[in-house]
């Protein structure tokens, strides 16, 4: 007599209804956490780019056939897709909502990519880590960060389409849209492509190059050729002696800031932050390269930080938005590390996710109001970085713009006293003091400052200060210098 097997036939996959419910709850929680950023106003460069620029005088031909605003404010950038959106919507609320929705879309796309390697628990944890990490503050609170959000979104589309073996044309279109938003869009697909080629050449003893790799390569070459044709050039600093220190600090602080993003630095001045943080960051960088088996994530992190170096070399701001794409790589690294520990499988994941969401609600609800106005933004910057000459300079700029010239004088004076400061801080301090009627203070500021290598603007405002206090001898000397 033949015995029947007691094992049941293989059951079909469980219906996705529970997964849909989990993801719905996840996105509602993320929305509640990040909704405060939709209430922000115009800050920092928003005025020059939007209210005084794209919203006043813009045309699609100018946006698509020249650098950002013709090079008046950003000759090194070509961002036609985000500039088009920014010009079409003159409501800050609408732009913030677009940014938030795109961020949620990127979270979903990252989850789709993670599903190709990890189980659902790690996928959900990775999505939560990306969605509400404190470093997402700047891209969500500052509408001018739309290029970063679009680049990450389209970059993730391109790699998800590649993972799903979609047509090469679709992958290339997604990559093209990303590159027309910001150059960082190439990193996910580039990292995945290198991993695919490497696995093919090692395991199969031959180069298994997919068609989308060739088509994406054509897109990359085409976009960078277009940049050359439109004379989009990278701006480099005049003094290259600062590059090694700035590079060391930027990369190290990027790794450290992702692990411990506190306090919130609206102006992440690499000259004012402590060296020990950069050292810790570099140690983490090396450990991840050495221990992680998901080096694709390490490549994305380093690629994103490296692409941010030219503007940091010039302005000394290692902004949090530069770490938006890097966070994608960090999530891959963390998922890879956690998947190697059996103890992770016994973690109470739901409780851990709930604690993370509640903690990040407190963080983001506190951070969101900082990006409402220039005054709040730069007041906070000088509070957390009192030794940053650039933070004080920006604080002085917003005070002068609103007509608070005494406050501006104090801010510019403090900026000029720092070891590293904006080259116009003292000049602006003198101008602000004159506007405030503090003539004696303006003259003292000029007299106590440098005497060589001064710009014409500095000499003119010094002359004005000398005349305001009746110092005829100094005024005559300055007139002679200006006539030369």
In this predicted model, what pLDDT tens digit does every residue of 262-287 receive, in sequence order?
999 999 999 999 999 999 999 999 99
**326 and 435 part of one domain:** no
Confirm whether 349 is domain-assigned.
yes
Cβ(154)–Cβ(107) under 8 Å?
no
Q: State the CB neighbour count (10 A cutoff) for residue 30.
A: 22
> What's the pTM?
0.92
For 125-159, how does the pLDDT look when each residue is reduced to its tens digit (9 = 90+)? Answer: 999 999 999 999 999 999 999 999 999 999 999 99
Beta bridge partners of 68: 74
Structural domain boundaries enclosing 254? 17-371
Taken in order 211, 215, 218, 219, the sign of the CA dihedral is: negative
Residues of the chain under the 70 pLDDT cut: 1-19, 197-209
**392 and 358 part of one domain:** no
**132 and 245 part of one domain:** yes
For residue 260, is it left (φ>0), alpha (ψ between -120 and 50) or beta? beta
pLDDT at 12: 44
Inter-CA distances, 271 with 63, 236, 257, 309, Å:
34, 18, 15, 14
Judged on CB neighbours under 10 Å (0-12, 13-18, 19+), 288 is buried
- Quote the DSSP letter at residue 45: T
Provide the domain count of the chain. 2
Of 344, 371, 398, the position where a domain reaches its end is: 371
**83 and 184 part of one domain:** yes
Tokens standing for 67? 């650098």
pLDDT at 294: 77
Confirm whether 70 is domain-assigned.
yes
Q: State the CB neighbour count (10 A cutoff) for residue 403.
A: 10
Tokens standing for 409? 């004088």
Confirm whether 5 is domain-assigned.
no
**144 and 291 part of one domain:** yes
| Dihedral pair phi/psi, residue 340, rounded to 5° | -85, -5
Confirm whether 12 is domain-assigned.
no
**191 and 214 part of one domain:** yes
Confirm whether 379 is domain-assigned.
no
Confirm whether 470 is domain-assigned.
yes
Distance, in Å, from the CA atom of 253 to the CA atom of 321, rounded to the nearest integer, reads 13
Q: What is the 3-state secondary structure (H, E, C) of 297-349?
A: HHHHHHHHHHHCHHHHHHHCECCHHHHHHHHHHHHHHHHHHHHCCHHHHHCCH
Residues found in the chain: 484
pLDDT at 196: 73
Inter-CA distances, 58 with 187, 229, 366, Å:
30, 21, 35
Confirm whether 331 is domain-assigned.
yes
- Quote the DSSP letter at residue 266: S
Distance, in Å, from the CA atom of 276 to the CA atom of 287, rounded to the nearest integer, reads 17
pLDDT at 4: 42
pLDDT at 15: 52
Confirm whether 263 is domain-assigned.
yes
Distance, in Å, from the CA atom of 95 to the CA atom of 82, rounded to the nearest integer, reads 11
For 113-129, how does the pLDDT look when each residue is reduced to its tens digit (9 = 90+)? Answer: 999 999 888 999 999 99
pLDDT at 19: 67
**289 and 414 part of one domain:** no
Cβ(222)–Cβ(346) under 8 Å?
no
Radius of gyration of the chain (CA): 26
Taken in order 80, 83, 85, 88, the sign of the CA dihedral is: negative
Beta bridge partners of 74: 68
For 44-88, how does the pLDDT look when each residue is reduced to its tens digit (9 = 90+)? Answer: 989 989 998 999 887 888 899 998 877 777 888 999 999 999 999
**228 and 263 part of one domain:** yes
* CATH code at position 474: 1.25.40.10
**291 and 396 part of one domain:** no
């Amino acid at each position: 007599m033949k015995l029947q097997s007691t094992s049941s036939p293989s059951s079909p996959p469980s219906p996705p209804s529970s997964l849909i419910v989990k993801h719905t709850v996840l996105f509602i929680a993320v929305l509640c956490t990040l909704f405060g950023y939709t209430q922000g106003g115009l800050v920092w460069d928003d005025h020059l780019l939007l209210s005084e620029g794209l919203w006043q005088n813009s045309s699609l031909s100018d946006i698509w056939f020249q650098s950002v605003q013709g090079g008046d404010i950003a000759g090194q950038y070509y961002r036609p897709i985000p500039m088009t959106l920014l010009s079409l919507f003159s409501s800050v609320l609408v732009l913030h909502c677009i940014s938030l929705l795109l961020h949620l879309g990127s979270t979903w796309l990252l989850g789709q990519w993670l599903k190709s390697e990890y189980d659902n628990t790690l996928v959900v944890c990775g999505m939560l880590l990306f969605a509400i990490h404190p470093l997402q503050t700047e891209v969500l609170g500052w509408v001018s960060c739309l290029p970063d959000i679009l680049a990450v979104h389209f970059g993730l589309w391109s790699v998800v389409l590649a993972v799903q073996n979609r047509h090469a044309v679709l992958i290339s279109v997604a990559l093209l849209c990303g590159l027309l938003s910001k150059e960082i869009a190439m990193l996910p697909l580039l990292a995945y492509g290198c991993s695919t080629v490497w696995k093919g050449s090692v395991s199969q003893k031959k180069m298994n190059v997919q068609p989308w790799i060739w088509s994406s390569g054509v897109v990359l070459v085409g976009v960078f050729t277009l940049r050359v044709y439109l004379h989009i050039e990278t701006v480099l600093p005049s003094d290259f002696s600062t590059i090694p220190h700035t590079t060391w600090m930027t990369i190290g602080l990027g790794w450290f800031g992702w692990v411990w993003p506190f306090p919130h630095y609206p102006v992440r001045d690499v000259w004012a932050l402590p060296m020990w943080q950069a050292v810790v960051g570099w140690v983490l960088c090396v450990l991840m390269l050495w221990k992680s088996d998901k080096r694709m994530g390490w490549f994305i992190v380093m690629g994103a930080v490296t692409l941010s170096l030219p503007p940091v070399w010039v302005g000394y701001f290692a902004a949090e938005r530069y770490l938006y794409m890097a966070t994608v790589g960090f999530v891959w690294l963390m998922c890879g590390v956690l998947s190697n520990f059996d103890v992770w499988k016994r973690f109470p994941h739901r409780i851990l996710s709930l604690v993370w969401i509640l903690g990040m609600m407190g963080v983001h609800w506190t951070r969101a109001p900082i990006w409402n106005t220039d005054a709040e933004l730069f007041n906070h910057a000088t509070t957390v970085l009192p030794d940053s000459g650039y933070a004080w300079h920006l604080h002085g700029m917003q005070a002068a713009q609103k007509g608070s010239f005494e406050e501006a004088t104090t801010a510019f004076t403090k900026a000029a006293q720092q070891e590293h400061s904006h080259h116009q801080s003292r000049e602006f301090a003198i101008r602000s003091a004159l506007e405030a009627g503090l003539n004696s203070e303006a003259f003292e500021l000029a007299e106590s400052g440098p005497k060589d290598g001064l710009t014409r603007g500095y000499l003119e405002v010094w002359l004005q200060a000398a005349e305001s206090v009746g110092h005829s001898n100094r005024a005559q000397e300055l007139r002679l210098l200006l006539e030369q």
